[in-house]
């Protein structure tokens, strides 16, 4: 592969050197192999390389700079969107935690009502047990009184029988 020499000012490559027609071999090229003598054909001036590089850069650099700026803007927009998204996520978490708190308050009210009912039942049971204790005490006192009366009745009967029993007469 050969690199053409410097171009003419209008950008058209010059034709074959004067005095040579189409189909005539170019001096310096050998017929044996296309790769042979490649280095000899690649003698390019530094100025041409610089001009080609500048032309390439001037052609693609504005597009690349615009693309770079567009990517920077997109990156900034992504950062803003990510921040906004994080804020929205935190708001949803707060809402969810508020729902949890509301559920806890509802549950607390439910258990408070249960405690109030249990307390009422305990007070009622305490009153019933107090009444039962008083009744039991009265019944016990009544039984003791009845037992005492029975005992006294027995003693009276025993004394009466004692008095009714025949006593031997005393001899004097």
pLDDT at 105: 93
Q: What is the pLDDT along the chain (172 residues), one digit of tens a residue?
A: 444 444 544 444 444 444 444 444 555 444 555 555 555 445 557 888 888 889 999 999 999 999 999 999 999 999 999 999 999 999 888 888 888 888 999 999 999 999 999 999 999 999 999 999 999 999 999 999 999 999 999 999 999 888 887 677 777 6
Could you tell me the residue ranges of all domains in the chain? Answer: 52-133
pLDDT at 36: 55
24 near 16, Cβ under 8 Å?
yes
pLDDT at 70: 96
Q: Measured on CA atoms in the order 21, 26, 32, 35, is the torsion positive or negative?
A: negative
Assign residue 28 a region: left if phi > 0, alpha if psi is -120 to 50, beta otherwise? left
């Amino acid at each position: 592969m050969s690199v053409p020499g410097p171009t003419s000012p209008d950008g058209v490559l010059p034709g074959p050197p004067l005095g040579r027609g189409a189909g005539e071999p170019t001096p310096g090229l050998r017929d044996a192999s296309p790769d042979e003598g490649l280095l000899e054909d690649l003698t390019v001036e530094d100025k041409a390389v610089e001009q080609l590089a500048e032309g390439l850069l001037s052609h693609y650099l504005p597009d690349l700079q615009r693309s770079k700026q567009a990517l920077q803007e997109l990156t900034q927009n992504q950062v803003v969107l990510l921040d906004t998204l994080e804020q929205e996520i935190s708001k949803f978490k707060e809402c969810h935690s508020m729902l949890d708190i509301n559920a806890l308050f509802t549950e607390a009210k439910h258990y408070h009502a249960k405690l109030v009912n249990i307390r009422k039942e305990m007070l009622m049971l305490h009153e019933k047990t107090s009444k039962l204790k008083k009744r039991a005490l009265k019944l016990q006192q009544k039984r003791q009184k009845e037992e005492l009366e029975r005992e006294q009745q027995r003693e009276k009967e025993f004394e009466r029988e004692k008095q009714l029993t025949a006593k031997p007469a005393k001899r004097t």
